[in-house]
A and B are shown apart, each in its own frame.
Chain A
Amino acid sequence: MLSGFARAAEPELLEPEKAFRFAARLKDARSIEVIYQIAPGYYLYRDKFRFTLGPAGVKPGEPHFPAGKKHRDEFFGEVETYRNSLSVLLPFDLGDTGVPAIQLAAESQGCADIGVCYVPYEHKAELRLASLSSGATRSDAASGVLSGMGLETDDARVARVFEGGFWLAIASFFGFGLLLSFTPCVLPMVPILSSVIVGTGRPVTKARGFLLAAVYVLGMAMTYAVAGVTAGLSGALLSVVLQNPWVLGAFAAVFVALALAMFGFYELQLPVALQSRLADASNQFHGGHTAGMFVMGVLSALILGPCVAAPLAGALLYIGQSRDVVLGGSALFAMALGMGVPLLAIGASAGALMPKAGPWMETVKRFFGTLLLGVAIYLVSPFIPVSVQMGLWAALLIVTAIYLRAIDSLPAGAHGFQRFSKGIGIVALIAGLAYLVGALSGGRDILQPLSGLRVTALGTAPYEAPFQRINSSSELDDRIQAAPGRTVMLDFYADWCVSCKEMERYTFSDERVQARFREMTLLQADVTANNAEHTALLRRFRLFGPPGIVFFDREGREIQGLRVIGFQPADRFVAVLDQALNFRR
């Protein structure tokens, strides 16, 4: 019962700091530009903004708002709201305070179209006047009074780092890079680096190994520094680009390609012409090979970029807002150095940790190939449904397990490593099976793949409700007109929509529900393809996507406020159907 409620109609809502993204910068010596990026389906009220400036003595002027959208509200009378983006100009008067910086506290309040409101939220920013000439400001997208105890995003956490001084920021970013080096993102660089160092054919000394690794890391760091400077110059654009599904998808494809190379499907090599040029160069002067390492470093930074996108986006976002080129470049340089520390360690140990290239390299390459595939799945995971994610993880884990000989029996005199690898294989196999079951049973939590089973214990055969398919807004109108005097139910469906399938399986199959279904016209819009018609249809009902069920009364008008969003158990759904059938305007 309780789990039913926990899963019931709770639409996906953005956290306030994501629904209303805030930024502030000094426009000139007398005014601040306050910017809000408002997510689609959300809006802010004009009369709810409050701007206060500190320290004492700094006086805010009358803020200048652009024209918003006006409408009459039955409670509040004439109200003006903003959608998409909003830029407010706030003049200020320093008086004779002579302060080096102004603190801005901006309070805003907004709501979402689905009929909920956010509590007033306070954003804070510090704007440095001394650096006005270079356009630098500092802002802090972290939380404010009423939501101060809310969760901080990665972005905000990174942006906060800049509150301290320059060197503190540099040190923090170095530490941040170190932390990142322990993520699966940096690990794939290890075999690339080691194969380059080990595979030179020349005996590698520790010093030379370290030098090569250092050059490689330097190349990587320079690339990030360039990214930082670009962000400083171009504003927040870069971070937006980095979080775009297409970009992440493309990088996931690169990772898959790299993984396939690791598995030996093909040989990953520089073009022969380039290779021989490099070889010539390195024969002629000592630095040739070093230059190659530098280029490798640059390339790997580009490849790794999206993998560390969340923290990187935070840093770039801040740098973009501050337009502080020096700080931006230095901070990202330091971060890349931090990320390079383990690589340096491997380089320095060239003699010790890295034996000559041999069959063992194959094992390691396959291991990293697997990791690369994992990273690819991780990259695209925000854009694909959980059940597909689970399916992918299941495939990866199970195939890996088979390669680790999880189901082959051990030879009698198996040595330690074989036993160890079989153990790992079995763990991978079981985890993979769990994910497979999760994917097939509609699990919705990637961390609890089997949670879907809890409600599936009573398996019933799927029930085919007599839905008529519609594909567009005009088709919907036709069908509603063709059913005069009947209550109409419109169900939005997509193949990837888990709760739609649960509704079909557990709720629509209930006899009480079916009895009521016979009294109404049932329409279903399958928006799996998500074409322009589908988008228009969803927009007409202000839905972002399935699940969503809308009802129309006997005159063909939508029954406002009677929507079902998300899974509903039969008991409650029957009540909703009764309400729809008995609705009289």
Chain B
Amino acid sequence: MTSLRTGTVMTRRAAHAAAPHRRARRWTALAFLAPLLVYLLVFYAYPLYRNIELSLHDYTPRAFIQGDPEFTGLENYAKILSDGAFLRALGNTALFTLGSIAAQYAIGLALAVFFQRTFRLSAVLRAMFLVPWLLPLIVSASTWSWMLNSENGIVNAALQAFGVGQINWLTSPDTSLLAVTVANVWLGVPFNLVILHAGLQNIPAELYEAAGLDGAGAWQRFRSITFPLLRPVSLITLLLGLIYTLKVVDIIWIMTRGGPADASTTLAIWSYREAFGTGQPDFSPAAAVGNLLILIAFAAGLAHVRLQKEGS
């Protein structure tokens, strides 16, 4: 508070000083800001603008090169929303995203609580849980698709040992979405573990001691102390998880190409396939699907802000 007050006094004094001096300071401030502003404009504002522009025109390869796309307004969006594949992709996106982040969060939290206690080799073990994060995606996704192979996969071999028949994980329309979700959960656990583990360090140990003295059991301590105090960290973890999962393309593309026959096609896969997955690049509908994803992520962000306000 004191420092704030001196701050205001000083600004007032500065106001009495010569105006050019103040202007120069403003320019200096702007100059310091400039690199960031330029960066934001070039790497965020422009791509976003371009994406919207692509989606409002009909960019055939010909129009893309000649630079004379026809302005079609919201036609691309109308086409996408009325496409039979849209509802399917939306449903798949919801299942994939919500399933992934729910499981990632639950497993990540369980592991974080587990690693709260230090025991022999706990640091080593914790480090090992980070491995999925360190592997290049092409490696982990290919490994998953080998493991889940219908005929020669290790998963089916293990299941057969218990008398379960062959499950066509990646090639049956009933299981391919589940298969890519499981792989994605495995990829996302380390992220949840790290953030939640860090969040746990901020909960004062005295609270647990006091609760212990009052006779609270492990489960009650978790429910009444850990979970509520972890709320802000949990919220941001879930939000980041949501955004990250919404835009997942690589793992699904490598494992199933969104197939068989659209069974694991999410909105992100759909967008990617329209633009780059066929011999005929259709940038406009791809950009329109991409923009829908941005809107969904944006809505989730607003919901997060709302929840945070309620919390505090």
On whether the two chains bind one another, the answer is no
Interface residues of A (CB under 8 A from B): none
